[in-house]
Every structure is written in C-alpha cells, then in structure tokens.
Structure 1
Amino acid sequence: MLPNTSFITRVQSDAPGTAEAIAEVLSKLVPEDLALIILFVGEGHDLDVIEQALAPVTRQTQIIGCTTAGEIGAGGYLEGQIVAMGLPRSLFRVATGHLSNLRQFGPEAARDLAFELRAEVTFSTADWANEVAFLLSDGLSLMEDQLVWALSEALGQSPLVGGSAGDGLSFGKTFVLHDGRFLTDAAVLALLRTPCRVTAFRFDHLEPTDHRMVVTDADPAQRLVRGINGMPAGPEYARILGKDPQQLSPFIFAANPVVSKIGDDHHVLAIQRVEPDGTLRFFSAIEPGLVLRLAQSTDLEAHLERELNRLAPKGETPAILACDCILRRLEAENTQSAHRISRLLDRFGVTGFNTYGEQFNLVHVNQTFTGLAFYPPDDDTDALANSDFTAHLVKTRADA
C-alpha cells in the first residue's frame, strides 16, 4: 500500500437517494476552504436536486463537473455514485467558464474564453509557476475535436486535459456542470495555477498491428464511417475480425479498437456502435482516406499498474484526477479483470470518471487513461510553509 500523503480532498457517496448522496458529499466538502470542487455524477441521479443543494455552496466555491459513464473513487470502479475532488484554496487559484451551443461552435469564442481565464489566474498568482487546464464537455456534442484545437491555440504551453461527459451506456443525453447548473450542448473549462508540481499524462495499453483498412466513405461531422476498403463499413470491419456482423457490440469494439498511426505515435479512434444500415459511428471524427490499423490489447491491468507506478516514483503518492474511457472499463469487465483493476485504482487513490472520450492538448482520443497528477509543493516553496496548507496536510494524514 502506498502511503497516503494526499493534500487534496476526495469524497463520495453511495446513498441511493440523490438528496441524501449530495448532502453527504457536501457535508465533507463545505467545511474545507476549497478553490474548486469537481463533481462526477453517476447515472440515475436527479440533477435538479443536485442543483438545489449546490446553490448556497457556489457563493463561496467554484464548482464544475459532469455526468458519467461510471465513476472512480475509493474502491476503484463505482456505479451510480456521486464522487468529488476538492482543491484547497491555499494551493490553487482557479478560473472557470463555459461555452454554450457547442453544435454551433465558433473557435473565436473558445479562444477568447481561454485567454480570459489564463489572464485571470496569471495576474493573481504570477509567482506560482505551474498552470494546467481541465476540460469537461458534452460527450454527445460531436465537437470535441474542434474544441480542443481552438483551446490549445490559446493555452500555449499550458497542458490541456479533459474528458467527455457520459450517460452510462444509454448514450441519451450528457451534462456538464458549471456554477451550480447542469448544461447540455456545452463545455466547461477550468484554469488552475498552483505551486504544486503537476504532471499531465495520457496512456493506453494498445499496440497497432499490421492489419490495415482504409476509410473510403465517411461523414466526419457526424463521426460516421459508411465505407471501409470500398465495402459497407460494419460488415467489412466484422469480416476483418472474423466475426458475424450481428455479433458486433460495445464489448467487441472495446476488444478490437482501431488506431491511426503517425510516426511512432498512434491515436485510438474508438467505435461507439453500428447503425442499422451497417454504418459505424465513432467517438471521434474520421476523415475519408484515413488509413486505420487494427490494434491489439496488451495486459490492461499490468500496463495500468506500470504506468501508475511511473507517476509515483520513490513511493511518492500524487493525487490523481483521471478521465478513463468507458471502453477500457468494458474491456476489464469482459475479461473478468474489473475487480483487480478496481483494487489497483483504489490503491493509487485515483479519483475521476469513465468518459465517452478524452482530450489531451491538441487531440480528442478514445480508449485512454488521461489525467492530471498533483504533487505537494517542493520543500523550498513559500506555499509549503503556509500555515493553512500545513494544517490541511496534517489533518488529511491524521484522517487517513
């Protein structure tokens, strides 16, 4: 077991009623002096009830969040819970904003928002060197590709990490949360400035194979692929796998993803579902002419443990905020490794959610484990001597 030195608050509730669950979460968060609360809301909760409970809290603390395709907290993989992470005011300056009407997306509005938020946190804490951006977006808006490109232009060298909100496996309607209100067709951006060391990370356990296929007919705006190798997309994908087209399911897609390869790097382009006409709907934009490769999974559990250990050198335990693709969770469930992976996520103190897609700097991808690892400030920073921070850290260790 890694030592628990986390200085960031993480709470959750498995209460079946929404009012009881959000009350339990807020009872543990409100007494803390927090700059930001990040809330992940599991499927089935009453969002109106949550909005009412959050109303008095938003006057003192900024709150963002989203609905999920599953949650991650104490115990690992969770379902139908409310999970939260709180960032202490003594160590974080935060500016948040949101973009509405994503389906009528204009890059100027995204760039303006990023510039505005950067200016707000930079001028208030110019002596705090580390800055990152965290993005939550409507997972059914189909606009994440354009959104991250525009935001990254304005963010410069500041890393951008995020996830697409979910709706379980229903794919009905997803919501993001800003200023105590749940919004659809929207995205919320948080700029964080801190003396803490922060590592932005993205990894996957997939290896491209030599099995190639060419997208011959596609509608990028709708993320639809109609043709592969000049044949109807669904049946051709099934043929390449040696499957009957009727067997195609989320579990098959999770186990048999496709990637685009650029140099030594690859980007996972995951399939969401097969439409009745045999068209494949993807989680990200696909262009005609794109060469795809079938990918094969390595050991998901072993790979995750190796990568999490890299984030915790010499036993140092970061607070990890994670956006974990729902397809990874489906693969874990399909291979009977979900319980072991849950123990691993719990051991490393991961907080986060299962997504419909992940964002990392300029790209929107799928089937990755993407996030931010927060480490306490170095010993020689002024913040470590801050009495509020010291008291917070001592209290957290005492409660562990």
Structure 2
Amino acid sequence: MRRYVVFTQRDQGSAASRQLTGVGASDLTDSRGAGRAAASAAVGRLGGPPPTLVVVYSSVRHSLTDLLAGVRDVTGTTPLVGATSSGQFHDGTLTPPGEGVVVLVLGPGPYRFGVASAKGLRADAFTAGREIARAARDAAGPERLAHAAILLLADGLAGHHQTLLSGVHRVAGASVPVAGGAAGDDRRLAETFVFHDGEVLADAAAAVWIDSPHRLDVVVAHGWRPVSLPMLVTRVDGTVVHEIGGRPALDVFREHFPGRAVEQSLRYAPVDGWPRSHALGLIEPDGTQLIRGAYLDDEGRLNTFAPLPPYSAVQIVAGEPDDLLSVADGIAKDAVAGREPGVLLVFSCVARLDILRDRGAEEPGRLHAAAAGVPTFGFFTYGEFARTTSVAGYHNATVAAIAL
C-alpha cells in the first residue's frame, strides 16, 4: 500500500540573499542522545532563527526511530528528510561507514521547500516518482518562484532508481534538475532506509522540492577513464550483460586487462565492499560516460547495478585513486561559482570510498577546500541522482553536488 505524507513549509524570507545553515555531528552510542547532540550543535550554529528544514544522514547501527526522536527533541515539528548511509562527511571531515550521525538545519534564506515521501518502489517506481514530485511541489506552496530543483533520496536496495527518476522527470520536466542519493547501510547490503519527519521508511523515497529565485545547477563528475573503444551491448537481460559487440561480455573485459585478475576485481563481495577498479561507461549524447558499476554474480555472469538499454553504446572504464580524486576540486568550484551559497550538498558513491581505501578522507577534504569557505555536507551512497536536461540521471561511482 502506497503512502504519501505532505508538509507545507512556511515562507523562509525570499528576500534573504544567502541561505543560513548549521551542521552538527555526534558519535555517541546512545541513539536518542546522538540525535539530540547533533541537532543541538546544528541549531546552535544558526545563531537564533528557527530551522525550516532538517536533513539527517546516519549509520544503520543506530536505533533509527530513537535517533530521529532525539533530533526532533531539538527541531520540533520542522520537516525532516534523510537517509541511512555508508559513511558521511561534513566540512571536510569523514565519518567512516558504521559510525555516527550528521544533521544539517536550514534557516531563513531565499528558498521555499516542499517535502513528500512515498513507499512502494519495488512495485511501481515510476508512479512513486511521479507522485512524490507532484506532492513535494504542491507542498512548496501555490506560487512558483522563477526556478526549482529537487533533492531526492531513495532506498538504496529497492532498485528501479532510473525508473523512479523518470517518474520525477514526468512531473518536473527538463527545466528542473534533480540531485540526491540512494541510501546505504554501512556496506551490509541488507536493508536501507529513508527518513521523513519521525518515520523510518523502507522501500521508499523522500523528496524536497526547492523553489528558488535563481537557477540551481547540479554538477556531476566521476574521474573514470575509458580503456576501450565504443562498443554496443548486443545481449542484455535486466541487469545481466550477456554480450558486448556480439561476444561474451566477460571475455571483452578480460582482453582489455591482460595479465590482471579481472574476475577478482569484479567479484561482488559484500564483506569487502562494492566492486572496484573496472566499470562500464554508458555513452551519453555529448560523449561523456554515465558510469554503471559492474560485478559478477554467483553464476559468474556480468551484471550492472542498473539495466543497460539493448544496443546502447558503452566503453569499459577504469578508475584509480588519483583519477577519482582529480574531479573533486572542479565539482566544488563549479557548484559555488559566482554565488554565495549557504551549503554545498554532495553525494558520493561508496564504491569510490572502496577504491580510495586509506585515502578516503581526501575526497571530502578536497571538496571542502575547493568550496572556499562554504559548508559542505554529504554522504556515501549506493547510487547518485544527478539529472539536468535529460531523463537519464542515475549514476554509480560518481559525485554529484548542488549548492543552496
């Protein structure tokens, strides 16, 4: 049964030129206490004005209902959205998977927000996306500002993320960019959740419609580099890629990495994280690649985390730590260029964290440094939403950012 909850946000003072924000974090083991501590720190940094929107990212190790109750002990009935993560970060500081909670509160600023949530992604993700976009837009109020964007969070293991995004696109249209991420669970690959007010929702998505007096841009980059010529996917069944260029897909991978243990790199190993180093790049009309993580299932078949269209053009791509880190500066600089935003929201894939390993803290550190004093706030996802002018926009092993 599908459920929709809509909350209308009070006006945030559209004349304000910069969004006021506050960020707090806690590593307390008591869940309610951790939520209360992180929220208190965030609200304290607002300097007095009441919050108008709350965003929470947390490890699944917490009792999530108690955690949200602790946050709302401080923020009251202020609308809240969020997700479980596989690590989170703020202001250049990494909280690794399995630890902590971070809270962002938004105070007065130029934006109007509308929040909605929906369950039932596995049954009908397109309808969920369509209805959640419509409900969030309506919740922002009857009068539209000149521009808009959508923050989208979804159950990371429910699948159908591109279909969910297509449903959002059907309502929002090409002029409204979407940014966000799929929830994680500290790499356990068992169950992920999104948050709406005090509720913890599985098989669900939460969305924030952001009305804005100025254009909001989503910046996306990944750093993966192609190691093959373009090829066609000639046989695919859901997420299973049987043939590329009329040949067994795994054979095509092997020939591009002679002498390397390709099967080991592609092995889907939950204990050791997501697959590393090799992926497929779905070629976009502008020549860039939309990354699709690749892995071997228990039967030794090549899979991707989201289905590839039959006869789509792809390239095999590879990523090493320096490649992935090279895009951080440009992402942050492009997102804040020419503006004085109150926060940079970032969504990065946990696959990147696995490739970076002991250099994992470098990515949030570089993002924050390049943001030049703008607070940064984000989490490591099971997939990223970054759609600008096309229906496609669900990514793997990529970084997406939007500045408010």
The TM-score, its normalising length taken from structure 1, stands at 0.81
Shift of 1:214: 4.2
Q: Which amino acid aligns with 1:168?
A: D
**Is 1:88 matched with 2:107?**
yes
**Any idea what SS the aligned residue of 2:363 has?**
helix
After TM superposition, list the pairs within 5 Å mapping 1:247-396 onto structure 2. Answer: 247-248=264-265, 249=267, 253-271=275-293, 273-297=295-319, 299-313=323-337, 319-333=343-357, 336-347=358-369, 348=371, 349-361=375-387, 362=391, 363-374=393-404
Shift of 1:113: 3.3
Q: Is the 8 A contact 1:332 1:338 kept in 2?
A: yes
Distance in 2 of aligned mates of 1:315 and 1:150: 31
Q: Which amino acid aligns with 2:94?
A: Y
Q: Which amino acid aligns with 2:156?
A: G
Distance in 1 of aligned mates of 2:332 and 2:91: 16
Task: Note the alpha carbon deviations across 1:130-182, whole angstroms, 9 max, x for none.
Answer: 32111001111111111111111211222211211111222111111112111
Shift of 1:187: 0.6
Unpaired segments ≥5 residues, structure 1: 375-400
Q: Given the alignment, which residue of 42, 46, 59 partners 2:63?
A: 46
* Counterpart residue number, 2:257: 241
Shift of 1:276: 1.6
Distance in 1 of aligned mates of 2:361 and 2:132: 41
Distance in 2 of aligned mates of 1:340 and 1:14: 21
**Any idea what SS the aligned residue of 1:260 has?**
strand
Distance in 2 of aligned mates of 1:56 and 1:15: 16
Distance in 2 of aligned mates of 1:10 and 1:90: 16
* Counterpart residue number, 2:164: 147
Distance in 2 of aligned mates of 1:318 and 1:255: 35
Q: Which amino acid aligns with 1:206?
A: W
Q: Is the 8 A contact 1:34 1:88 kept in 2?
A: yes
Structure with the higher fraction of residues in helix conformation? 1
Q: Is the 8 A contact 2:279 2:294 kept in 1?
A: no
After TM superposition, list the pairs within 5 Å mapping 1:28-39 onto structure 2. Answer: 28-29=41-42, 32-39=49-56
Q: Is the 8 A contact 1:37 1:87 kept in 2?
A: yes
Unpaired segments ≥5 residues, structure 2: 1-17
Q: Is the 8 A contact 1:233 1:278 kept in 2?
A: no
The TM-score, its normalising length taken from structure 2, stands at 0.80
Q: Is the 8 A contact 2:129 2:166 kept in 1?
A: no
Distance in 2 of aligned mates of 1:144 and 1:116: 19
* Counterpart residue number, 2:186: 168
After TM superposition, list the pairs within 5 Å mapping 1:81-230 onto structure 2. Answer: 81-105=100-124, 107-123=126-142, 125-126=143-144, 128-156=145-173, 157-195=175-213, 198-220=216-238, 223-229=239-245
* Alignment: residue pair count: 364
Q: Is the 8 A contact 2:192 2:202 kept in 1?
A: yes
Name which structure has the greater RCO, CA cutoff 8 Å, separation 6+.
Answer: 1
Q: Which amino acid aligns with 2:26?
A: S
Distance in 1 of aligned mates of 2:376 and 2:179: 16
Q: Which amino acid aligns with 1:371?
A: A
Distance in 2 of aligned mates of 1:309 and 1:245: 35
